[in-house]
Structure 1
Amino acid sequence: MQTPRLTHIALHVEDIDACVQFYRQFCGMAIIHQRQHGPKKIIWMAEPSREADFIFVLMNGGQNLVLADNDYRHFGFALDSHAAVDDIAQRARQAGSLVWEPRQEPFPVGYYCGLRDPNGNYVEFSYGQPLGPGADDFSKLTPPKEA
């Protein structure tokens, strides 16, 4: 049996245009497909060169989320330096969307900050996690024991 592979996340958002602008501005994503059926608008966004790997699907007609400050569910994006995390945090601070100030945590978390997108989703920007630039030794991760 083939192992499933994550290909997309679909977000049902209230203000699709504001979300498109956020993911362009802070995540560098671009629209790769869009369509409209009556009032229903659907937009696919991807990081450059990852269009065939992983996408965000934005759909209008949703409701904004209200997440507690201590709710850490989020989308994670890797950056190439501490300075890049600080830059995103500064831009987000000016835009009023910074929710987690930059901080350093032990491996495997690294250096990160968090933003709130226009729909209320949290978005993390990190440096030094095992899945991105500046990664520490990935072999330090301990897989869970089989039950």
Structure 2
Amino acid sequence: MHPTLTHIALHVPDLDACIEFYREFCAMGVIHQRAGKGSRIVWMAEPGKEHQFILVMMPGGQQRQLAATDYSHFGFAVESREQVDMLANKARAAGCLIWEPRDEPYPVGYYCGVVDPGGNYIEFSYGQPLGPGSEQMPIP
């Protein structure tokens, strides 16, 4: 037996704001929604990955208040440094950039950090041994 990670489920304080954030910044789409336990449950996925990994969100959560030294985050890989910079500029304009773009030694790569409407941190990275184009990179 070998378990496969298929989803992360979150209670969020503003479901619609989180849906819009993940559409706008992460290119995820709503693939399913339903009423559930007195609320609305939404499944979101990246295009083409609907059967691999989804984000499940439902209203009712508390706003996360992460300390400045807390690096808990969701990681999204992008295809270039320019995409990291573009997302950082977009987040800066929206007032949700938390980590300016920076370079770190392999395997961390080039990344920036953004906070979603629920207070969750999101990392956008390029040059890690994960995501687009990483098949040729060794995992340390």
Give yes or no for TM over 0.5. Answer: yes
- 2:74 aligns with 75
* Cα shift at 1:69: 1.4
SS of residue in 2 equivalent to 1:139: coil
- 1:84 aligns with 83
RMSD of the alignment, in Å? 1.4
* Cα shift at 1:38: 6.7
CA distance in 1, matches of 2:12, 2:2: 30
CA distance in 2, matches of 1:132, 1:28: 15
In structure 2, the CA distance between the partners of 1:104 and 1:136, relative to structure 1 (3 Å rule), is farther
1:52 paired with 2:51, answer: yes
1:59-138 maps to which residues of 2 (within 5 A)? 59-135=58-134, 138=137
Say if 1:9 and 1:56, in contact at 8 Å, map to a contact too.
yes
Say if 2:129 and 2:139, in contact at 8 Å, map to a contact too.
no
Number of residues of Structure 1 aligned to a counterpart in Structure 2: 140
1:16 paired with 2:7, answer: no
* Cα shift at 1:56: 0.1
Pick the structure with greater CA Rg.
1
CA distance in 2, matches of 1:62, 1:33: 20
Instruction: Give the residue type in structure 1 aligned to 2:130.
Output: L
Instruction: Give the residue type in structure 1 aligned to 2:57.
Output: L
CA distance in 2, matches of 1:124, 1:50: 19
Percent of pairs with identical residues:
60
CA distance in 2, matches of 1:80, 1:62: 32
* Cα shift at 1:137: 5.2
- Stretches of structure 2 lacking an aligned partner (at least 5 in a row): none
